[in-house]
Amino acid sequence: MYDVTYHRAGSVQEALDLLESADDGKFLAGGQTLIPAMKTRLAAPSDLVDLRHIAELQTISVAGKTVTIGAGTTHAKVAANSEIGSVCPALSHLAALIGDPQVRHMGTIGGSLANNDPAADYPAAMLALAATIVTSKREIAARDFFIGLFETALDEDELITAIRFEAPEKAGYGKFPNPASRYAMTGVFVVQDGETVRAAVTGAGDDGVFLCSELESALSADFSAAALDGITVPADSLMTDIHASADYRASLIVAMARRAVTMAIG
Amino acid sequence: MTDVTMTVNGKTVSGTVEGRTLLVQFLRDSLGLTGTHVGCETSQCGACTIHMDGQSVKSCSMLAVQADGASITTIEGLSDGGELHPVQAAFREHHGLQCGFCTPGMIMAATDMIRRHPEGLDENTVREELEGNICRCTGYHNIVKAIMAASEAVNTASSRAA
């Protein structure tokens, strides 16, 4: 990789100041995507601002149904947190499926969301949970946050500090992982809360994570795996790559939704 | 260049590194701890697995400066030099290696896995937890056997100690 100047921030304000004074700086969270990207020179920032030692980004709070997770929380900590596990076990399950144990010890929820990889797991959960992305400047609804492939509503000088959501009555996640990378070849996160049903799909859309109306209308009528029998999802705007065709992904969406609903019903 | 200080295998060490120096390069090239291997360098194979502050991480996917102030354990620090660590002994006993290239990373991942599962390990859990470590020789069977045996040995020893 090209040489880079490293800075360690002790607070959110210090991180923002360090980034502002850098020529072409980038925030470094767990680094599990950014460091490999720098090694292949896909990314070549002049400066890195390490966020891993900012205590205010590491907090998890569950107050009633309101879950707030600091952006610097690792996947391993989300997966192991008993309070999150009791109000939204689907999110714990999702976190435990990301990458591998070593990656989960470093990678963070904020880093994953800011990167918005089209095959990452957390974006599906945030969209289906109608989560709020809290940043150093404002609060952004998940539906306004994910713009496209590796693209979010974040400004260059804006840092995710936390995510917040209301735990729904029921939630589940079904994932078909790529056998090598463990990224989702298709992942579906479903939520049911009163009259509301949301189903978000990652790993399949050619423009990143999306809410799937075909799944949502079937599940709104009847929140059961059987309600998905015979449902088809159009392959028009799905991804085709060396791993799977758009048609295959279209059928994976229904199959993974069935698994997600089965988990949600428990 | 930046000065870094960290605890490696119980000893405080210092060095001067570039911003881009990977932790694995610092361990191998500056400290001579060549037990930690560089396999794929794309964070998939796990040959570079070490413990940072008690947790398994891939030392090829982090910078040496990120570990400034941390406590690092490498394969060289697992036993005190006399007897093999129970996980090392189990890999020998169960022939959990052939060429041996992946072994240091396997053993560091296994030690962390056993720590996180004091309730014991079944075969499925071991295989799932080995997601981040690739072996191209063994077909994993003996690695899995070794880890399950080591888990039992470690848990029996700690319940005796308690």
Can you tell me whether residue A229 is helix, strand or coil? coil
Q: In the CATH scheme, what is the code of domain A57-166?
A: 3.30.465.10
ipTM for the predicted complex: 0.96
- A28 interaction partners in chain B (CB closer than 8 Å): 66
3-state helix, strand, coil in chain B (%, to 5): 40, 15, 40
Could you check whether A5-50 and A170-265 share the same CATH topology? Answer: no
- Mean pLDDT of each 10-residue bin along chain A, 266 residues long: 96 98 97 96 97 97 98 98 98 97 98 97 98 98 97 97 98 94 94 97 97 98 96 96 96 98 96
* CATH code of the domain occupying A170-265: 3.30.390.50
Please report the pLDDT score of residue B162 as a whole number: 67
CATH 3.30.1130.10 for the B2-77 domain, yes or no: no
C-alpha span between A131 and A227 (Å, rounded): 26
pLDDT at position A32 is: 96
pLDDT, position A107:
98
B62 — contact with chain A (CB < 8 Å)?
A: yes
**Tell me, what's the pLDDT at B42?**
87
Question: What is chain B's pLDDT, residue by residue, as a tens digit (162 residues)?
Answer: 899 999 999 999 999 999 999 999 999 999 999 999 999 988 899 999 999 999 999 999 999 999 999 999 999 999 988 899 999 999 999 999 999 999 999 999 999 999 999 999 999 999 999 999 999 999 999 999 999 999 999 988 887 776
| H runs (alpha helix) in chain A | 12-21, 34-39, 75-80, 82-87, 89-96, 101-106, 109-115, 122-128, 142-145, 213-221, 246-265
Nearest CB partner across the interface for A39, out of B41, B49, B65: B41
Say if residues A190 and A171 touch (Cβ distance below 8 Å): yes
Residue B120 DSSP one-character state: -
The domain at B86-157 falls in which architecture?
Orthogonal Bundle (1.10)
Structure tokens at B105: 């990373």
Euclidean distance between CA atoms A98 and A111, whole angstroms: 13
A103·B46 Cβ contact <8 A:
no
Reported as half-sphere exposure (CB side, CA atoms, 13 A), residue A259 has a value of: 17
Query: Chain A, 92-151: which have a CB under 8 Å from a chain B CB?
Result: 99-103, 105-106
Domain ranges of chain B: 2-77, 86-157
Contact between chains at A39 and B112 (C-beta distance less than 8 A) = no
Say if domain A5-50 classifies as CATH 3.30.1490.20.
no
How many other CB atoms are there within 10 angstroms of residue B117's CB atom?
A: 15
Contact by Cβ (8 Å): A161, A139: no
